[in-house]
Amino acid sequence: MELTAHPSSHASDHTFWDRIAERYARQPIADQAAYQRKLEVSREYFRPDMNVLEFGCGTGGTALLHAPYVNHIHATDISPQMIAIAETKRSEVKTQNVQFEVGAVETLSVADGSLDVVLGLSILHLLEDKEAAIAKVHRMLKPGGVFISSTACLGDTMKYFKLIAPIGHALGLIPMVKVFTSDHLKTALAAAGFEIEHAWQPGRGKALFVVARKQMPS
């Protein structure tokens, strides 16, 4: 089950992610081969002149790895502790073209049609309203821009978790988790005006990795 990935932008959850930030930063990537493939596929869509947003960036590792391939990355997360760790990482590797900021996708102020790529990795299942977030991403992207996401679609294999998740969240044991299927997610992307160009799951129950392009005006 892939839950503890990148923190949710749901405001009430930031204390949960603050509390586990240090442990999260030390946690190894569960499936390194799948992670590397996602990095490689993402980079196929990058160009050196591109401006990128990543929301739910956690401790910033992915943004820093992608930084050499684009012009600039603005990476946000609701957890101040996560962002503090990301800033430390950035200073250690002396990366100049990544800006880390505390913030939620719901409240981000980004001009419509101003971004080439938006990354939302291990985050959509942790949002109160993923459809609203997807629609906002669509507005932020330039025509032809791409939204790259990786999402735990628990409705495919763990429908029962829909009953358990609210209890765990109320007790502070887990963040808010939404349960939906991979087909539901694909439908939401299409409804927002995206065309899916790449979709991949490394195995049953694994996160669905999607590259979706904002369609050009007809």
**Does residue 173 belong to any structural domain of this protein?**
yes
Q: State mean pLDDT over 91-119.
A: 96
The pLDDT of residue 7 is above 60: no
Q: Kindly state whether residue 144 falls inside one of the protein's structural domains.
A: yes
Q: Which helix (H) or strand (E) holds 99?
A: strand 98-102
* Sign of the torsion formed by the C-alpha atoms of 90, 5, 139 and 215: positive
Is 6 domain-assigned? no
Mention every residue, 6+ apart, whose C-beta is less than 8 A from residue 153: 125, 180, 181, 182, 184, 185, 207, 208
Residue 117 lies in a domain: yes
Cα four-point dihedral sign 50, 56, 61, 62: negative
CA 66 – CA 69 distance, rounded (Å) = 6
pLDDT tens digits along 187-209: 999 999 999 999 999 988 899 99
Q: Is 5 part of a structural domain of the chain?
A: no
In percent, the amount of the chain with pLDDT more than 70 equals: 94
Asked whether residue 4 carries a pLDDT value surpassing 50, the answer given is: no
Q: Tokens 């981000």: give the residue.
A: 108
**pTM of the predicted structure, to 2 decimals:** 0.91
Domain range enclosing 63:
11-214
DSSP category for residue 217: P
Between CA 8 and CA 108 the distance in angstroms is: 14
CB 57 within 8 A of CB 100: yes
pLDDT of residue 161: 77
Which of 57, 215, 48, 45 has the alpha carbon at shortest distance from 141?
A: 215
Q: What is the pLDDT of residue 180?
A: 95
Which pLDDT score is estimated for 44?
98
| pLDDT for position 216 | 82
Count of structural domains, the chain: 1
Backbone angles phi, psi at 121, to 5 degrees: -105, 120
* Mean pLDDT on 85-90: 98
170 pLDDT band, cuts 50/70/90, is confident
**Residue 1 forms part of a structural domain:** no
77 assigned to some structural domain: yes
pLDDT digits (tens, 9 = 90+) for 12-55: 578 888 999 999 899 999 899 999 999 999 999 999 999 999 99
Give just the sign of the alpha carbon dihedral 142, 182, 174, 60. Answer: negative
Q: Is the pLDDT of residue 176 over 90?
A: no
Higher per-residue confidence, 140 vs 173:
140
Q: What is the mean pLDDT of the chain?
A: 91
What CATH number does residue 37 fall under? 3.40.50.150
Position 4 in a domain: no
Q: Which pLDDT belongs to residue 12?
A: 57
- Number of Cβ within a 10 Å radius of residue 25: 17
